[in-house]
Structure formats: C-alpha cells, structure tokens
Amino acid sequence: MPTVTLARHGEVAVATLDNPPVNALSATLRGDLAAAVVQAMADPAVTALVIAARGKAFIAGADISEFGKPPVAPLLPEVLESVENAGKPVVAAIEGVALGGGLEVALACHGRVASPAAKLGLPEIKLGLIPGAGGTQRLPRLIGAAAAFPMMLSGEPIPAQKALALGLIDRLVESDAVGAAVALARELAARGAPAKTGGRTDRLTAADREAFEALAKEALAKSGEMPNVPALVEAVRGAFTLTLAEGLARERALFVALVADERSKALRYAFFAEREAAKVPGIDDSVKPRPIARAAVIGAGTMGGGIAMCFANAGIPVTLIETSQQQIDKGHARVRDTYGFSVKRGSMSEEARERRMALITPAVGLAAAAEADIVIEAAFEEMGVKREIFGALDRIAKPGAILASNTSYLDLAEIAAATSRPADVLGMHFFSPANVMKLLEIVRPAGVAADVVATAIALGRRLGKVPVVVGNGFGFVGNRMLEARTRAAERLLVAGALPHEVDAALTGFGFKMGPFAMSDLAGNDIGWRSRKARGKSAAVADALCERGWFGQKTGRGYYRYPGGARTGERDPEVEALIAEVSASKGVSRRSFTAEEILARLLDPMVNEGARILEEGVATRAGDIDTVWLNGYNWPAWRGGPMHWAESVGLDVIVRRLERQARESGDASLEPAPLLRRLAAEGKGFFAVRAI
C-alpha cells in the first residue's frame, strides 16, 4: 500500500499521507511524498499541490525509531527542499498535530491552513535534539526568532488559534481544511511564482535579534546538562548571520551530532519505554473499560485533595469525603489555595479555578460515595483503617463501581478481601504532589477483573497521567526500590560518609535533591513509623527521630533549618551522632568519593529492580524506568535506573554488589540471580522482556 495517494480537485492536486498511527515520516513515507511532489509538478494540468493527511495526526514528526540507524534516502531536508522549490504553490492542510518534522513539512510549504483542533510544535528538544529539517531556519523567518525560539526551547505545541495570531498559519477554518487549502492553493497559483518562507528576511529585524539574544542568554544559563540548548541557540542565531543554505547545513550538522549523543538516546528510549508500558499482558482492545462519569475520593489530606484536583482538571465531577465537617472544610480550603498558587502565577484564570472547584463536592461520611463509578481511598496508611473503609464501601458503593486504594505499600489482596467484590478492587498509587506528578502505579492484585485494570489505565490517561501496571508486592515498584536506596544511604552514613556528601553525589548525578534533604522535607517520622510497624530499624535515622528531629517541620533533621530556612545547613551535632553510631557498631569510618557513593546508592536499586523483574512485579525493565522517570525525578537524560545500569555494564554492577555484600555482611546486597545470569551471559535487561 502506498503511504501517499494523489487525487485531483480540479486543477489542484491533493497528496494525502496515510501512515498509521500518526503519519511519522518513515523512509517509505518520505519516498512516497517526494514522488508525489515530482508527479504533481510534472503534470501540466496541475497548478498547485495540497499536502493533507488521514488519521488523528497531520504528521507526528520524523520516525524516531529510525534515529541512530543508517540513514535511508531521501532524507527529510532534501524532500523539503524539493517542496520549497517546487515551482508551483504547495499548501499544507493541517488537521490534528503537526509536530517536529511534521511542522517542518508545513513550513517548507508556501501556505498553511489549519483546523481549530490542530496543534503545532517543534518538540525535538524533549528528545535531546533540535529541529533537523529546517525548523530552526524557516520558523524564525516566518514569525521572528523571538517568537520561534521559545517554541523550540519548550517543545510545547501551540493551538491553531495562537499559530494564526503569530502568522505561523495563513488561515484557520472551522471545517474542511482540505477544501480551504485547495482554495488557498488556487489563489497562490493565480498570483504566479510562490513566495518561499525560507527566502524571507523581513521578520529578522535588529529588534528581533536583540529580543532573541536576551532569551538565549537566559536559556543558556539554565541549560544544565543538555547540549541541545546551546546547539539550538547556535542554529537559530544562524538565521540572522547565514544564508538559508548555510543555516540549513549548520542545523543539520548540529542535529546529526545530537542524535549520536547518549543523552538523546536515553530520552528516545524513555519515549518508547513509556509507550510500551501502556501495553499490558492480558489487556488488549477486546477488554472494554467501564464508563467513568463520577468519582469519589476518600480522605481530604494533601494526597486526597491532589487526587480530587486531577479529576476536576479532567472535567470529571468528584466528591471529596472526610470524617468530619472540620476536616473537610480544611481539605477543601487547601485545594482552593493550591489552585490559588496557579492563579497568582498567572497560569490559571480565576474563572478556570471556579469551574474546577465547582466540580469538587465536599462531603462528610462514606455514604456520599454511593453514586461514584470509581472510589479512590487516600486515607491513613494502615491496614486496619483501609479494611474498615473498604468493608463499608462494599455496602455503600453501587454495583460495578471500582474500588481503588492509593496505598503506597500495603497488600491490595488483603484490602480487597474486606469486600464481597474483590474483582472490583485494585491499587491506584498517585505520587505527591498528585496534581503534578505524572506517574500512576496501577496495582493489580491476583483476583482483579481485566476490565477493572483497563478502566484504571484509560482513566489514568484521561487524568493526564503515565499509567504503569505493577504487581501486588510490598512497595510495588517505585517505593520498593526507593527503600533499597534509603537503606543504602543509611549504610553509607554508618560506613563514613556524611549527609551532605551523599546528597551532593546524587544531585551531581542529576537528581533535584539527595535522599537526606528529601527525607527532611517529607518528614523523617514517616519512615520511622513505617519501620516500627514492621519491626525494622535504621540506627542513624531512628536516633534522629528519637530526638524529635523530624526534618524541616521541626527545624532540624539531617540538617539544621534555622529560622524556617528551606535549605539545610550541616549540623555538627548530627555528624557527631553519626560518628557515635559507627563507633557503637565497631566501624572505623572512612571517606568515600562521589563516584563510590553513587555506586553504593544506585547499585542496590538496580539489584532490587532485577528482583522485581524476576518476580514479575514489573512486566519489563522499561516499566521500571518509566516509574522512576515519572514519579521520582530520575534525571530524564539518564533514561532510568535499568537503562543506566546497562550503560555502566551489568557485570560491573554485579562485581560492585558482591564486594559490598562481602564488606558489609548484608546478604540483601548479593546480586539477584537474574542480574548474575544476565551479566554472565553478556546480556542486558532489555533482551529479556516480559520475564
């Protein structure tokens, strides 16, 4: 089947692209498009060409899966050159998204028409790249660099309405974008030789350059690890200083270098891992999700309030339930205040806040959950409390309602057993702050019905989350691995490292915060309570809590926070206390390099990840990485813990773990059998999908 078909609307030819699911510009599509352009231009009866597309996207961009493979002709820049220099007008009819190379196709055309639902953007930056088929040259020429640069820097698509205001499209039409594009093509043909976007210089004024340079300076100061930001600045600057041909050549060279960069490879891997995570064994298209028109959230604490906001943001009415009027008033007010920050920042209008608040109905008592199609419990993290709530919900909730718990550790099967309908019970684990963090762990206990899991996945997407289905085991995927890291951090303190050294090693790696600053922020008492409930101990962490040093909220924890400071200072008393703990365990303290600290923090996480895979708690290594990238701020350009482990070498990790296990006498550090086997066979995690 050809991916492009040519038809005629009178004397205007229409090339319709059809490369499901999103018209990515694969080698075949590029070839077919180039051939269609040649054919239309060669036909004396044709005066102009329209490029249109079937399906939900106009064009989602270059085919990302081809990056890093040997290039196959014709390359996109060549195809677009033939469009721009076609000799007859070419007009893009944009319905759906025009992203990356897709927008670059439209930019090479001589006119652009879009429907109101269209979105236009250059998201290459999110893949560690820059536009590589003329975007950095043609977009500034069309709308000015001061407007074009922020679009390329953020990667966020803009709606058609805004594109019209910027001059990025010529016409916005309510319906029949193809018909309108044909009409525009006809008008352009009547005017004679088409004006080329790439030939324009009128928008590249001195004032535009000045505004661009100011934005570029700001972006460079914040670019951190990402080499594509300086590359983007350099490419866009070329629009002012180089001819179009030179600018395109420089852009291409920068793009090609970035494609080979490990950081871009990690981001591209993460893109596909996230999409693969959406494919869940036993849940195919034949399993239909249940309809969700109304929700209830139990518990109006920070978590419950945040979850209720997710529903309101998605336009789904939700009842927020507490045990007393006072509690619900407090929780409801907190939600209003949280929206208030967005209003103050200017990212939300007052009306939008009111619309969302109107979707949240505060209520006292579980009976208010009777009408909900899904109930999400976000109450106190204790099995007794959860079982009591689920027992009551069993009597109250309507038949077929989904009963979900937001528990972050507890056994879902035990919670489900408190009801007479365990097939309707599963975990929906949101991450704090719930209205911001993308991850949603969907916990699948053995007895849950497939359509209940499918509903949770579909709902997760509606809420704008990245759903990852995980098995029912202590801490599921994310928190179980986090606990391995927490134990490792405590071990490091006892062995000789200090809190600020451990934190610095992790922020140096790319995390926003180290484990101790994080624990001080969340409250050290949370882990303390959880350890006590499980009969576990951690000498340093317990000693801090026994002194009431819970972290920021008490003014001291691993660090001191004088006068309510948000950033901690080293605390000599804590450091002395750590030394005492080491002495009491007969450990002679030694110093650690940042590299050693990193290995000791991250290798045990990878080890736990390998156990999680072996036990089938995660379906694939990519699911684990998707969890860490979207719920725990793992630096995106490092691709997640399992991807990182492969970049280090599994054999190296095995050797380091063996040494740690030997030195510490801690058997939990022995390499997991799967890790050992893969290392011995010279294989990686990604060769053993769906273990």
Burial, 590: exposed, middle or buried (Cβ in 10 Å; 0-12, 13-18, 19+)? exposed
Beta carbons within 10 angstroms of residue 683's beta carbon: 13
Nearer to ligand 3HC, 133 or 538 (CB): 133
Nearer to ligand 3HC, 29 or 296 (CB): 29
CB of 665 to ligand 3HC, least distance (A): 45
Structure tokens at 664: 């510490």
Give catalytic status of residue 187 as yes or no: no
**How far, CA to CA in Å, does 305 sit from each of 61, 299, 665?**
38, 8, 44
Contact status: 459 vs ligand 3HC (CB under 6 A): no
Nearer to ligand 3HC, 46 or 62 (CB): 62
Query: Which residues neighbour 341 within 8 Å (Cβ) at sequence distance 6 or greater?
Result: none
Nearer to ligand 3HC, 123 or 568 (CB): 123
Q: Which of 629, 627, 632 is nearest to 440 (CA)?
A: 627
Pick the binder of ligand 3HC from 13, 50, 133, 182 (CB under 6 A).
Answer: 133
Asked whether the beta carbons of 74 and 83 are under 8 A apart, the reply is no
By CB under 6 A, the residues from 67 to 86 that bind ligand 3HC are: 76
Contact status: 501 vs ligand 3HC (CB under 6 A): no
Asked whether the beta carbons of 316 and 479 are under 8 A apart, the reply is no
Give the binding range for ligand 3HC (CB under 6 A) out of 59-67, 281-289, 291-299, 506-514.
59-67
Contact status: 144 vs ligand 3HC (CB under 6 A): no
Contact status: 124 vs ligand 3HC (CB under 6 A): yes
Query: Angle between the 135-143 and 244-259 helix axes, to the nearest 10 degrees?
Result: 130
Give the binding range for ligand 3HC (CB under 6 A) out of 55-63, 368-376, 417-425, 496-504.
55-63
CB of 159 to ligand 3HC, least distance (A): 14
d(CA 105, CA 93): 11
Q: Work out whether strand 111-114 and strand 90-94 pair parallel, antiparallel, or are unpaired.
A: parallel
Q: Which of 684, 488, 473, 475 is nearest to 605 (CA)?
A: 488
Asked whether the beta carbons of 376 and 298 are under 8 A apart, the reply is yes
Give the binding range for ligand 3HC (CB under 6 A) out of 92-100, 226-234, 523-531, 568-576.
92-100
Nearer to ligand 3HC, 24 or 92 (CB): 24
Contact status: 61 vs ligand 3HC (CB under 6 A): yes
- Residue from 81, 84, 95, 104 carrying the catalytic annotation: 104
Sign of CA dihedral 189, 191, 193, 196: negative
Residue bearing tokens 């972006």: 219
Contact status: 140 vs ligand 3HC (CB under 6 A): no
Contact status: 105 vs ligand 3HC (CB under 6 A): no
CB of 24 to ligand 3HC, least distance (A): 4
Contact status: 99 vs ligand 3HC (CB under 6 A): yes
Alpha helices by DSSP H, listed for 66-122, are 76-84, 101-108
Q: Work out whether strand 12-17 and strand 4-9 pair parallel, antiparallel, or are unpaired.
A: antiparallel
d(CA 455, CA 407): 18
Structure tokens at 686: 């990604």
* Per-residue binding letters, 269-298, with ligand 3HC (x by CB under 6 A): ---x--x-----------------------
Nearer to ligand 3HC, 104 or 377 (CB): 104
- Output the CA angle 27-29-32, nearest 5 degrees: 110
Contact status: 322 vs ligand 3HC (CB under 6 A): no
d(CA 470, CA 283): 13
Q: Which of 567, 562, 555, 551 is nearest to 507 (CA)?
A: 567
Give the binding range for ligand 3HC (CB under 6 A) out of 100-108, 473-481, 495-503, 655-663.
100-108
d(CA 108, CA 85): 9
**Cis amide bond preceding 20, omega within 30:** no
Closest residue by beta carbon to ligand 3HC: 100
Q: Which of 22, 64, 227, 244 is nearest to 138 (CA)?
A: 244
Structure tokens at 425: 């019970």
By CB under 6 A, the residues from 630 to 659 that bind ligand 3HC are: none
- Residue from 81, 84, 124, 646 carrying the catalytic annotation: 124
Contact status: 132 vs ligand 3HC (CB under 6 A): yes
Nearer to ligand 3HC, 30 or 203 (CB): 30
Pick the binder of ligand 3HC from 2, 8, 38, 65 (CB under 6 A).
Answer: 65
CB of 186 to ligand 3HC, least distance (A): 30
Nearer to ligand 3HC, 61 or 551 (CB): 61
Query: Which residues neighbour 402 within 8 Å (Cβ) at sequence distance 6 or greater?
Result: 290, 292, 373, 374, 375, 424, 425, 426, 452, 455, 456
Beta carbons within 10 angstroms of residue 171's beta carbon: 16
Contact status: 62 vs ligand 3HC (CB under 6 A): yes
Q: Which of 250, 232, 76, 246 is nearest to 151 (CA)?
A: 232
Contact status: 259 vs ligand 3HC (CB under 6 A): no
Pick the binder of ligand 3HC from 89, 111, 128, 131 (CB under 6 A).
Answer: 131
Give catalytic status of residue 124 as yes or no: yes
* Per-residue binding letters, 3-32, with ligand 3HC (x by CB under 6 A): ------------------xx-x--------
Asked whether the beta carbons of 680 and 671 are under 8 A apart, the reply is no
Q: Work out whether strand 158-159 and strand 171-172 pair parallel, antiparallel, or are unpaired.
A: unpaired
Give the binding range for ligand 3HC (CB under 6 A) out of 34-42, 61-69, 446-454, 511-519.
61-69
Nearer to ligand 3HC, 76 or 418 (CB): 76
183 HSE (CA, 13 A, CB side):
10
CB of 9 to ligand 3HC, least distance (A): 27
Nearer to ligand 3HC, 22 or 578 (CB): 22
Residue numbers of the site for ligand 3HC (CB under 6 A)?
21-22, 24, 57, 60-65, 76, 97, 99-101, 104, 123-124, 127, 131-133, 135, 272, 275
List, by residue number, the catalytic residues: 104, 124
